[in-house]
Amino acid sequence: MSVHTDTVPLAKPVLGPEEEAAVVEVLRSGHLSLGPRVPAFEQAFAARLGVAHASAVSSGTAGLHLALRATGLEEGDEVVTSPFSFVASANSILYERARPVFADIDPITLNLDPAAAKAAVTDRTKALLPVHIFGFPADLPAFERLGLPIVEDACEALGAVHADGVPVGGRGHPAVFGFYANKQLTTGEGGMVTLGDPATKERIDSERNQGRAPDMGWLDHDRLGFNYRLSDIACAIGLAHRRRGDAPADTAASAAGASSSPR
């Protein structure tokens, strides 16, 4: 009796001539960063989710960090989150010398349990960080009733939809998506923050670019920032990948089955 040992990959990016042509076009333009593909990718992504704004960043982890900073997170603050996630969820809290507070998960959905999160809230709680684990939407209406700022870890959830028909990432809270090679849409590395507040987008756009505001000169910076930019090369790949169709078909990973993996 023969034994088959073929390996079925958990996720495999689907890349082809469209992505190759998009990259070559950027390379020939000589405009590799801070160019027109970045806002084009942001606008296309925001339009897909029906949200007002999106900010492209270098990774999902970078997006989580900047989104949490935008809540006003400071040293000693607490953020209630899930213990069942990739390490980046907790790391993004620790970057600001804040404290991740792990609350229990629902045994069926594996998402952060709203009742457990409520019980974990103290007077030092600054925000909630629910994770849409394996792409299954967390119970955002229940978290919203707690009255705290929410940052959504949606790195595995592109294409998922809440029970009320709103796409994950489309509720207006900062929601962070990842574009690592095993995600539904990939740019190799990269991420996107979707959000409804223009002031928060302005802050994230500045802090991803070393703290430079849009109306400031090349060496003029007015706040602490980071090198969290996403290149035009990556955005060109993202735009081409986006044109393949709705996100769940973009890679072999489905919105409900993406791995708990690099942000």
Q: What is the DSSP string of 38-70?
A: HHHHHHHHHHHHT-SEEEEES-HHHHHHHHHHH
Whether residue 173 contacts residue 147, with contact meaning beta carbons closer than 8 Å, is answered with: no
What number of residues does the chain have?
263
Provide the token pair at 61.
Answer: 């982890």
- Tell me which of 69-73, 220-224, 256-260 is least confident: 256-260
Res. 142: pLDDT tops 90:
yes
Known catalytic membership, residue 183: yes
Q: Residue 102: which of 81, 132, 122, 76 has the closest Cα?
A: 81
Provide the token pair at 97.
Answer: 């010398």
The model's pLDDT over 153-166, given as tens digits with 9 standing for 90+, comes to: 999 999 999 999 99
CA atoms within 13 A on the CB side of 251: 29
Average pLDDT score over the chain: 92
Res. 250: pLDDT tops 50:
no
Q: How confident is the model at residue 217 (pLDDT cuts 50, 70, 90)?
A: confident
Res. 107: pLDDT tops 80:
yes
pLDDT at 155: 97
pLDDT at 214: 84
Res. 258: pLDDT tops 70:
no
Q: CA-based angle 79:93:78, to the nearest 5?
A: 25
Whether residue 89 contacts residue 111, with contact meaning beta carbons closer than 8 Å, is answered with: no
Q: CA-based angle 91:117:160, to the nearest 5?
A: 75
User: Which strand (E) or helix (H) includes residue 102?
Assistant: strand 99-102
Q: Which of 12, 126, 183, 201 is catalytic?
A: 183
Whether residue 117 contacts residue 53, with contact meaning beta carbons closer than 8 Å, is answered with: no
pLDDT at 216: 83
pLDDT at 251: 36
Q: Mean of the pLDDT values across residues 57-73?
A: 98
Res. 11: pLDDT tops 60:
yes
Phi, then psi, of 159 in degrees rounded to 5:
100, -15
Tell me what percent of the residues of the chain surpass a pLDDT of 70: 93
pLDDT at 247: 41
Q: Mean of the pLDDT values across residues 141-169?
A: 97
According to DSSP, the β-strands at 99-102 and 125-129 are: unpaired
Helix (H, G, I), strand (E, B) or coil at 21: helix
Q: Residue 122: which of 97, 139, 101 has the closest Cα?
A: 101
Taking the CA atoms of residue 166, residue 109, residue 104 and residue 253 in that order, the dihedral angle to the nearest 10 degrees is -80
Q: How confident is the model at residue 84 (pLDDT cuts 50, 70, 90)?
A: very high
CA distances from 167 to 124, 163, 170, 209 (A): 31, 9, 5, 28
> How many helices, marked H, and strands, marked E, lie in the chain?
8, 7
Q: How confident is the model at residue 248 (pLDDT cuts 50, 70, 90)?
A: very low
Q: What's the DSSP call for residue 209?
A: B
Q: Residue 149: which of 246, 241, 50, 70 has the closest Cα?
A: 70
